[in-house]
Structure 1
Amino acid sequence: MKIALSGYGKMGKTIEKIALGRGHEIVLKISENIEEYNLSEAEIVIDFSIPTVALKNITTCFQNKLPVVSGTTGWLKDYEKAVQVCNEENSGFIYASNFSIGVNLFFELNEKLAKMMDGFKDYSVEIEEIHHTQKLDAPSGTAISLAQQIINNSSKDGWELDKAKENEIPIYAKRIENVPGTHRVSYNSEVDSIEIKHTAHSREGFALGAVIAAEWLFNKKGVYTMKDVLSGLS
């Protein structure tokens, strides 16, 4: 594949390394203003940019008939607009708050555990996420995805950062130097605790998942998720 990278920070550089190692070509490295670039050589775009330009960059790619794999977080209020443009332009799109294969397996566990725990009202649930100090958004997109899964599979009706009301899920966000990403979901009662946890050891897992998603999306039309990618791999 001929890949354009939208965003060339630490994740973009790691994706470049993984993609080259899998035999792909990086034809473009896009900074904030995508309109300054000629997209004609690219066949697919992997977007790890910043929230303020994500929608513009993604929809511009669709308008140039380029499918997009996006892992940018903090812009999801505009997600439905991106989906609309993708469908209008008959392009392809995968968005994920986290492309790590391990995290997406963790999502599956979280969903199943939420269903199991919903009937046991003695347990309260909370989410903790830890990331490096350069991460701009809090809580992380992954933590929000975990919370939304619990809400969809339980009687919980929302989440809040740090302080949550009785029927909401508290999310605690910590920023520590050189931590790629840790997420923990815990259910606590007076007598015991149950928890599931995912710890990333490097950015390579996120980058590999994004490249695998791009390989899966290549030559497809429509809007997909990492569940679709995983089902295609299994």
Structure 2
Amino acid sequence: MNILLLGYGKMGRAIEAIATERGHNIAGKINENNLDDIKKFSSTNADVAIEFSQPDAAFDNIKYCLENGIPVLSGTTGWLDKLQDIESLCQQANGTFFYASNYSIGVNLFFKLNEQLAELMKNFGEYNVDIEEIHHTEKKDSPSGTAITLAEGILKHASSKKQWINKPYGSKEDLVINSIREDKVPGTHTIKYGSAVDDIEIKHTAHSREGFAKGAVMVAEWLKDKKGVLSMNDFLKL
């Protein structure tokens, strides 16, 4: 399979290593230094594009792929105010677009566990829920896309919470996401339900980028013959 990498930072390099190990060819590597080179690619020389770039580049990268018949999966966060535009374009172009805030198989199982716990806890108002996420200092967006997905999962079930906020403290109606940036932390997310008598916590800790990169390559392998707007629920059949 010929894979076009859109974004060639640490994630791009990790994806390249796993893709080549699994027998795939890297058709091109696009970053901020060679943006115009994307115009060399179409469905004739790229079977799928894996997009892990920057928030200000993601929309244009994905739009180009959809307009040129290249199935594209994106893991870039911080641009989702334009997500509906991309989904509409995908449908109009009869294209293929896949988005996930996190491609780790373990994290996506954690998303489901988070929703199941939120459903169990919804009638126990003595517990207050909050989220803590810790990432490396190079991460551009805050809160993480994974933390936002976790918050949205909780808000589906927790009637006492009206919105998430990205602050260390909030009101009783706020679901607090506390974002911490530390050197060399791939990603840690903790959901805590706290009461006067006890705490209940679930936690996911990534040890490296390998889990994210491997998940992205596995999705790319699955995606290349699909059509439409797709997600990890489709891939994992959860």
Equivalents in 1 of 2:17, 2:125: separation in Å?
47
Q: TM-score, normalised by structure 2?
A: 0.95
Secondary structure, counterpart of 2:27 in structure 1: strand
* Contact 1:67 1:93 (8 Å CA) reproduced: yes
Taking the aligned partners of 1:35 and 1:215, their CA distance within structure 2 comes to 26
Count of equivalent residues:
232
Supply the distance in 1 between the matched residues of 2:162 and 2:24 (Cα, whole angstroms). 44
Which residue of 2 is the match for residue 184 of structure 1?
190
Distance 1:118 1:177 in 2: 35
Partner of 2:4: helix, strand, or coil? strand
CA distance in 2, matches of 1:62, 1:223: 11
Large movers: runs of 4+ above 4 Å: none
Identify unmatched segments of 5+ residues in structure 2: none
Q: CA deviation at 1:34?
A: 4.3
* Counterpart pick for 2:163 among 154, 158, 177: 158
Q: Structure 1 stretch 8-17 or stretch 154-163: which is displaced more?
A: 154-163
**TM-score, normalising length: structure 1:** 0.97
Aligned counterparts of 1:112 and 1:52: Cα–Cα separation in 2? 34
C-alpha contact 1:94 1:223 (8 A) present in aligned 2: yes
Alpha-carbon distance between aligned partners in 1 of 2:25 and 2:92, rounded to the nearest angstrom? 28
Seen in structure 2, the aligned counterparts of structure 1 residues 55 and 15 have a Cα distance that, compared at 3 Å, is same
Residue 153 (structure 1) shift: 1.8
**Offset of 1:36 from its aligned partner?**
3.5
TM-superposed CA distance for 1:157, in Å, is 1.5
**Match of 2:2?**
2
The 8 Å contact of residues 34 and 57 in structure 1, kept in 2 or not, is answered as no
CA shift at 1:203, angstroms?
0.2
* Amino acid of the structure 2 residue aligned with 1:75: W
Look up the match of 1:146.
150
- Letter paired with 2:92: E
- Equivalent AA in structure 1 for residue 91 of structure 2: N
Of residues 30, 38, 41, the one that matches 1:39 is 41
Shift of 1:35: 4.1
Gaps spanning 5+ residues in structure 1: where?
A: none
1:223–1:34 CA distance, 2 compared to 1 (3 A): farther
Q: How does 1:16-31 map to 2 (within 5 A)?
A: 16-31=16-31
1:195 aligns with 2:196: no
- Deviation, 1:165, is 2.4
Aligned residue in 1 for 2:92: 88
Question: Which residue number in structure 2 is paired with residue 131 of structure 1?
Answer: 135
Instruction: For 1:205, give the aligned amino acid.
Output: G
Please list the CA deviations of residues 107-133 of structure 1 after superposition, one character each: whole Å capped at 9, or x if unmatched. Answer: 010010001101000000000000001
> What secondary structure does 1:190 align onto?
coil
Q: 1:96 & 1:35 partners in 2: Cα distance?
A: 26
- Distance between the aligned counterparts of 2:37 and 2:25, measured in 1? 21
SS of the equivalent of 1:20 reads: helix
Supply the distance in 2 between the matched residues of 1:165 and 1:215 (Cα, whole angstroms). 45
One-letter amino acid matched to 1:36:
D
Report the Cα distance in structure 1 between the residues aligned to 2:99 and 2:36, rounded to whole angstroms: 21
1:53-79 CA distance string (max 9 Å, x none)? 100110110000011110000000000
For the Cα contact (< 8 Å) 1:61–1:67, is it kept in 2? yes
Cα-Cα RMSD: 1.1
